[in-house]
Amino acid sequence: MTAEIRTSDGELLSVKLKKVERRRRTTAFLLAAPLLFFIVFAYVIPIFQMLGRSIDNAEMNSFLTETHEVMQTWDGSEMPGEDVTSTFYYELKTAVENKYHGKIATRLNYEKGGFTSLIKKTSRKLKNFDENANFLDQFIDVHKKWGDIEYWQALKRGTDAYHFRKYLTTFDYEQRFDGSIERIPEKLRINVTLWLRTIFVAVGVTFCCFILAYPISHLLSVLPTRYSNLLMICVLLPFWTSLLVRTSSWMVLLQKQGVLNDTLVSLGFVADESRLELMYNMTGTFIAMTQILLPFMVLPLYSVMKTISPSLMRAATSMGATPFHAFRKIYFPLTYAGISAGSILVFVLAIGYYITPALVGGAKGILISNRIAYHMQQSLDWSLATAMATVLLIAVLVVYWLYNKIVGIDNMRLG
């Protein structure tokens, strides 16, 4: 049996070592703790709360709990009975007294258009109701829309405690009352177009960034330090400028009477009447977004290229490879890590972009993020906005997963 090794204060060495190790780990955790708490409380929890909104309808359900319960036995094939209409009458009356009927109207209006006026008019006339007479007839007397069964069906749907319908809307589908899922009328379809456009722009911008960044990064990595530092500042300077300033500068440059067009006209390349349309279309979106996201491609590429020894290329040429062949077989494969890191960064940033496309892209610059912002700020349909945001988040996670599968996240190098 080996002798137990003890420290100078008589403790077992193994115990003492564990203690020291534990203390170190605690210190390390405590150092990281503020950041961890910050991320959890300021980022993770709010995100999940927001995402919860996309299926949560508990507030509406609490406003009209009993109506919802009574309606469970109503199959929606013919007009609802007095049990439904009377319950609804009493709950709406409470709502009017406590002034949340406006909220009910707004929320139901997302289910079926026309509900705002319907609930408002009904609320005003509610005090004239005869509580001993037939309620359905009185509802229809107030507003003929109550005679349309679709409104009662929407009422049943709209008071579910939670639902997944917003996810259908995200892809331009809707669920009928009988449970069947169908595409919405062609004139109202918008989201699928925008999803495709967003992916197209993100892929396109990533490609443009790659094409532009590759030679610059190579130049940066081979130039003597004093020149490369200067070039690096040129790359980084826009990076340190506010996004809005850069976008507005592009507007000054690209507009019809802008710097670029003026120069082209004065040099005689373009006639004054046929100035180029560089803004309020896809061209503008691509130009501005590529410039803004370029540093995110340059930096990872540069950091990878910096580590490639020039002797490798020399060795290849000395063994008879043409410069192109050496580049293709030796240099290019060695930069994969940088390309993939840069591409994923640019792609993920581009897929969520919205200020720049909105400012320089005109109607063609509307991307899915603009729709999310629109539903947050204008239509106030927050559950739809969060459903779309969730899909966007999942899309990014899928890209990340694919990347991990194909390239491996360990191979990503950011510098």
Residues that bind another protein (CB under 8 A): 99-103, 105-106, 109-110, 113-114, 116-117, 120, 187-190, 193-194, 255-258, 279-280, 362-364, 366, 371, 374, 376-380
Q: How far is the CB of 115 from another protein (least distance, A)?
A: 9
Provide the 3-class DSSP secondary structure of residue 223.
coil
Q: How far is the CB of 46 from another protein (least distance, A)?
A: 11
Report the residue number, 114 or 204, with the smaller CB distance to another protein: 114
Report the residue number, 14 or 117, with the smaller CB distance to another protein: 117
Q: How far is the CB of 272 from another protein (least distance, A)?
A: 11
Q: What angle do CA 99, 100, 104 make, to 5 degrees?
A: 145
From 220, 257, 184, 223, select the one nearest 415 (Cα to Cα). 220
Report the residue number, 70 or 387, with the smaller CB distance to another protein: 387
Determine the Cα–Cα distance for residues 124 and 122; give it in Å rounded to an integer: 5
Report the residue number, 193 or 411, with the smaller CB distance to another protein: 193
Q: How far is the CB of 198 from another protein (least distance, A)?
A: 11
Q: Looking at residue 238, what DSSP letter applies? A: G
Nearest-Å Rg of the Cα atoms of the chain is 31
Report the residue number, 47 or 313, with the smaller CB distance to another protein: 47
Written as one string, the DSSP assignment of 241-285 is S-HHHHHHHHHHHHSTTSHHHHHHHHTTSS-GGG----SSSHHHH
Q: How far is the CB of 43 from another protein (least distance, A)?
A: 17
Q: How far is the CB of 111 from another protein (least distance, A)?
A: 9
From 348, 362, 333, select the one nearest 206 (Cα to Cα). 348
Report the residue number, 86 or 281, with the smaller CB distance to another protein: 281
Q: Which residues contact 17 (CB under 8 A, 6 or more apart)?
A: none
Report the residue number, 104 or 297, with the smaller CB distance to another protein: 104
Q: How far is the CB of 62 from another protein (least distance, A)?
A: 16
Q: How far is the CB of 229 from another protein (least distance, A)?
A: 38
From 178, 182, 162, 154, select the one nearest 75 (Cα to Cα). 178
Helices (H) and strands (E) counted in the chain, each on its own, are 22, 2
Q: Looking at residue 75, what DSSP letter applies? A: -
Q: How far is the CB of 256 from another protein (least distance, A)?
A: 5
Determine the Cα–Cα distance for residues 66 and 85; give it in Å rounded to an integer: 11
Longest CA pairwise span in the chain (Å) = 102
Tell me if 255 sits within 8 A of 359, measured CB to CB: no
Determine the Cα–Cα distance for residues 300 and 160; give it in Å rounded to an integer: 49
Amino acid in the structure at residue 345:
L
Report the residue number, 128 or 377, with the smaller CB distance to another protein: 377
Report the residue number, 86 or 106, with the smaller CB distance to another protein: 106
